Amino acid sequence: MADSKREIERKYEATAETRLPDLSRVAGVFTVAHRGVTELDAVYYDTEDLRLAADSLTLRRRTGGSDAGWHLKFPVASGIRDELREPLSDTLPPSFAGLLRSRVRDRGLVPVVRLVSARDVHHLLDAEGALLAEVSVDRVRAERLTGGTDTAARTAWTEIEAELADDGDPAFLDAVERRLRKAGIRPSASPSKLSRALAETAPKRKESPAGREEASTGRGRSTAGRTRQKPTSGDHVLAYIRHQTEAIVALDPAVRRDLPDSVHQMRVATRRLRSALRTYRRILDRDATGPVGAELKWLAAELGIDRDQEVLDARLRARLAELPRTLVLGPVRGRLRVWSAAARGGSRRRTVAVLDGKRYLALLESLDALLTGPPLLPAAARAPGRELPRAVLRDYGRLADRAGRALELPPGHDRDLAVHEARKAAKRVRYAAEAARPALGKPAKRFAKRMKAVQSLLGDHQDSVVARETLRTLAVQAHAAGEPAFTWGLLYGREEAIAAARERELPEVWRRASRPGLRAALEG
C-alpha cells in the first residue's frame, strides 16, 4: 500500500517582487529557518477529457526535492487533501491504477501539464525546534501538453504556499494567514497549481457568427431573462440517481484503501440507486432500467459480504466486552479474533476483486449511459408534488403489508423471516422519501425519519438473528476443541433476549410510523 499523509495547505497570490513578511511574529513561532531553493519538475496525468481534474484529483510524477516520486491526491475538504506516494518509476504504480479505475476505466492516462517550480522554502519552528509549518514562495512555469507531444500553451506565475506540519493544529494556519494579509497578501483564487495551469492554458473557444448573433439578439440558450422551467418529477429523480452514482465512483478508492465505513457507504449508495429505479418506475422505464437494477443488486450483495462481516464482528466484540470477567470462561477472545481475521481477510480480498472486475466497470458505464439518455416515461414531465408522493406511498403500502404479517406471526423462525422482509421494505420506503425530500421538503423528511426508526428496530432484530447463528457455530467449534462453551451460550441467550425485546417494541414503533397525518402531509 502506498504511503499516505493528510495535507493541509493554503495558497496565496504573489508576484516576482513579493517578499514574505516577518513570520517570526506569528504566535507560537520561535524562529524562521530558510532552507534554500529547490527545483521541482512535475508532469501531471489525466484522461484526455480531464476526468480526474473534474473531480479535483491530481496525479503527478515529480522529480527534485525530498519527495520525488508518484503522488496521488484526493480532496477531503477545502485546503485539505489525502496525498498518497509511491517511489519514482517510469510507469504508473499498479496501486494508483487501481485507485483511479472507477474514474479512468478504459480511458488512457496521458500527460496534460508540466509544472517546473523554483521553491524557496522557509520553516516555521517552535521553541523546541519542532516544525509548525512550511511556507514557500513558488515561481511556477506551466506548459500545457497535448498527449505528450506538442506544446499548446504556456503560462507562469508566483504564489505563496503555507503547509501545516504533520499532526499540526489547523488553527496555526489562521495565524499565518492573518500575518500575510497584513502584508497585503491575499488568498489565491485557484485551489491548486494544476487547476490554475489548466485554466490559464485552456484552448480558446472560437465563437461562431451565429453564436454572436444569438448573444446580441437575445435568442441564445443563455439569454438573460428567459423563463426557467420548474423542475419536473424526472428532474428530481435523475438528480438523485446522479448523486448516488457519483457517490459509488468517489467511494471506490476509499474501499480499496480500507478506510472506515467506506464499504458501508458504497453499499448504501448502491442500494439507494436500485431502490430509486424500482420505486420510480412510472418515471423511468423499468424495461430499460431493469438490467441495471439487477447489476446493482449483485454489487450490493458482493459489498455486503465484507460489510456484514464487519457489523457482525463489531457486535460480537461489544457483547463480549459487556460481560464480567468471571463469566468469560476459556480462550473466548482468542477464538473470536482468529475467526474474525479469517472471515474479514477473505471478504476484503473478494471485495477488491469485484472492483477490479469487468462486470463492475460495465455497471459504471451503464449508469453513465442511463444518465446521458434517460428512458423517461410521460409521468416524468409531471409536477413532483403529484408524482413523487404517489411512488413513496405505494412503497409504504408494501411495507404495511409486510409489517402486518410480521406482527401476526408467533415468535419463531417464520416470524424472523417476516421481520427481515419488513426491514427491507422499510429501507426502501425510507430511501424513496429521502429521494423525494428536495421536492417535497419537511413532510418527506419527517416521513423518512419515521421509516428509519422502523428500519433500525427491525435491523437490530435481524442482526441478532445472524449473531445467534454465528455464536452457535463458535460454541460448537469450542466444544470440539475441548474448550468451555459456557460463554458462547451466555452470549446466545443475551442475543435471544434482545430479539424478543425488539419484537415487543415493534407494535408501538409501527403505530407511530403509520400515523395518518404523516401520509396526508406527504400527499400535500
Q: What is the pLDDT of residue 31?
A: 97
pLDDT band at 306 (very low <50, low <70, confident <90, very high): confident
C-alpha–C-alpha distance, residues 444 and 429, integer Å: 11
Tell me which amino acid residue 256 is: R
Q: What is the pLDDT of residue 116?
A: 97
Q: Which of 86, 18, 52, 4 is nearest to 194 (CA)?
A: 52
Q: Which of 308, 322, 306 is nearest to 463 (CA)?
A: 308
Q: pLDDT tens digit string along 213-244?
A: 443 333 344 444 445 678 999 999 999 999 99
Q: What is the pLDDT of residue 344?
A: 73
pLDDT band at 316 (very low <50, low <70, confident <90, very high): very high
Residue 454: how many other CB atoms lie within 10 Å: 24
C-alpha–C-alpha distance, residues 114 and 144, integer Å: 7
Q: pLDDT tens digit string along 86-98?
A: 999 999 999 999 9
pLDDT band at 516 (very low <50, low <70, confident <90, very high): low
| Percent of the chain clearing pLDDT 90 (strictly above) | 81
**For cell 440507486, what's the residue?**
273
DSSP class per residue in 487-515? HHHHHHHHHHHHHHHHHHHHHHHHHHHT-
pLDDT band at 517 (very low <50, low <70, confident <90, very high): low
Q: What is the pLDDT of residue 221?
A: 40
Average pLDDT on 160-177 reads 96
Collect all residues with Cβ–Cβ distance below 8 Å to 214 and sequence separation of at least 6: 220, 221, 223
Residue 217: how many other CB atoms lie within 10 Å: 9
- Dihedral class, residue 500 (left if φ above 0, else alpha if ψ from -120 to 50, else beta): alpha
Per DSSP, which regions of 17-149 are E strands?
31-46, 58-63, 69-77, 80-86, 110-125, 131-146
Helices (H), 100-232: 101-104, 171-182, 193-200, 209-217
The answer to whether residue 262 scores a pLDDT higher than 50 is yes
Q: What is the pLDDT of residue 150?
A: 47
pLDDT band at 521 (very low <50, low <70, confident <90, very high): low
C-alpha–C-alpha distance, residues 358 and 366, integer Å: 12
Q: pLDDT tens digit string along 11-21?
A: 999 998 999 99
Q: Which of 16, 9, 6 is nearest to 137 (CA)?
A: 16
Average pLDDT on 423-438 reads 94
Tell me which amino acid residue 188 is: S
Q: What nine digits make up the cell of 172?
A: 496555526
SS3 state at 219: coil
Buried b (16+ CB within 10 A) or exposed e, 333-360: eebbeebbeebbeebbeebeebbeeeeb
Q: What is the pLDDT of residue 226?
A: 45
The answer to whether residue 469 scores a pLDDT higher than 60 is yes
Average pLDDT on 362-386 reads 95
| Percent of the chain clearing pLDDT 70 (strictly above) | 92
Q: What is the pLDDT of residue 166?
A: 93
Q: Which of 148-162, 225-239, 479-493 has the highest mean pLDDT?
A: 479-493
List Cα–Cα distances, 22 to 171, 187, 494, 523, in angstroms.
Answer: 19, 18, 65, 64
Q: What is the pLDDT of residue 467?
A: 95
Query: Helix (H) and strand (E) counts for the chain?
Result: 16, 8
C-alpha–C-alpha distance, residues 444 and 396, integer Å: 12
pLDDT band at 524 (very low <50, low <70, confident <90, very high): low
